[in-house]
Amino acid sequence: MKITKMICLLLAAVLAVGAVASCAKINDGNHEKGNEALTYVSLRINPEIELIADENGNVVAANAVNEDGEVVLATVDLEGKSIEEAGAIFTETANDLGYFTPDGEKDTVYVDVESMVDGAETELEEKLSRSIRDYFNNKGINGKIAPEILDQYADKAAEWGISAGHVKLVMRVLDAHPELTDAEVLELGVKDWMKLLKGNKGEEKIVVGLKDDYRTDVEALKDEYARLFELCTEIEALEAQLDGELTDEEKSAIEAQIAEKEAERKPLHDAYKDELDELQDFYRMISKQAHRKYVEESEKRQNEHKGKQSVKEENTEAVTS
């Protein structure tokens, strides 16, 4: 089985995208619904979230991008909703939490859609914008909808030769999976980026507030297993030599070196994977505790906003009476 450096390093991503748990290329045939056409949607006011939707336009995963996004998602479940419905619920919840200004003059919902179906983005963006606009009109809010600003990704887009929207997807994957490098993520492609952001059904997510600590601990673990990654690089280089014109004797000698390095790599791979799994399990466990903080913050903001609205209505009635 040919070993590649990319998959040696994608030990956690292997689980996330459903590939075989070894140094093997990702095989889409092993995926559940391997050919599903997923769609990525980001919604940003100050709270920012991302949605992954299936081929029917129904949300299969909702992730917070910042802590205000965690507050919004703390008390609403967007999975199973259509993209348009989820967008309206997100906007309504953000309003209930007091994230919009009283006159709405400076309130904008920034929308970005990346779809695996060519040309689908424009139609989905229009439907989503219409749903949010209808909510604004029904509530008398002077809010606006605008395409997400992607200027910050322009330099990377030029460097990597991909669109700014795809750069954003790569950055989100790197944020969610610090065990990966940008080169590894770029080699995976759009389908697996979305699958990594979608995650596994029922899997606890690491909350935004713990991501920095998690990233630091993953980097420390990678340093501890530096020899594993060196071996992956060495094996990759040896395998590249096998692609050349070789005598049987030369080929046998290289294969023997690969086998020797593989014998050293395998126990390191297994130990690293076990420790990485333990680290992820730990952060998912404490994320449950941290989630309560976001629920409390959400409830607190809702009560404060209701109180302000009541005072505003009372003052309006006093003026008109």
Instruction: Pick 152 or 103 by higher pLDDT.
Output: 152
Instruction: Give me 56's structure tokens.
Output: 């029917």
pLDDT band at 230 (very low <50, low <70, confident <90, very high): very high
The secondary element (H helix, E strand) that includes residue 281 is: helix 248-320
Instruction: Report the first-to-last Cα separation within the chain, whole angstroms.
Output: 82
Q: What is the mean pLDDT of the chain?
A: 86
Question: Percent of the chain, pLDDT > 90?
Answer: 69
Q: Are 5 and 236 in contact (CB under 8 A)?
A: yes
User: Do 59 and 79 touch, CB atoms closer than 8 A?
Assistant: yes
Mean pLDDT of 133-153: 92
Sheet holding 39-44, edge to edge: 59-64, 48-53, 39-44, 108-115, 144-147
Asked if pLDDT for residue 33 goes beyond 60, the answer is no
pLDDT interval class at 234 (50, 70, 90): very high
pLDDT at 28: 35
Q: Does residue 159 have a pLDDT over 90?
A: yes
**What is residue 26's predicted lDDT score, i.e. its pLDDT?**
28
Q: Which of 13-17, 104-108, 300-304 has the lowest mean pLDDT?
A: 13-17
Output the 3-class SS for 54-102: CCCCEEEEEEECCHHHHHHHCCCCCCCCEHHHHHHHHHHHHHHCCCCCC
pLDDT band at 317; cut points 50, 70, 90 = low
Which pLDDT score, from 0 to 100, does residue 225 have?
96
Contact between 147 and 110 (Cβ < 8 Å): yes
pLDDT at 252 over 90: yes
Q: Is the pLDDT of residue 113 over 90?
A: yes
Mean pLDDT along residues 239-259: 94
% residues pLDDT > 70 (the chain): 84
User: What is the pLDDT at residue 1?
Assistant: 36
pLDDT, residue 35, reads 62
Which pLDDT does position 32 carry in this prediction?
43
Q: Is the pLDDT of residue 22 over 60?
A: no
pLDDT for res 204: 85
pLDDT value for 36: 76
Average pLDDT over residues 244-252: 92
Nearest residue to 111 via CA among 149, 159, 77: 149
Instruction: Quote the pTM value.
Output: 0.82
Whether pLDDT at 125 is above 50: yes
The pLDDT tens digits for 52-64 are 999 999 999 999 9
Digit-coded pLDDT (tens) for 68-106: 999 999 999 999 999 999 999 999 999 999 998 766 566
- The per-residue pLDDT for 320 is 62
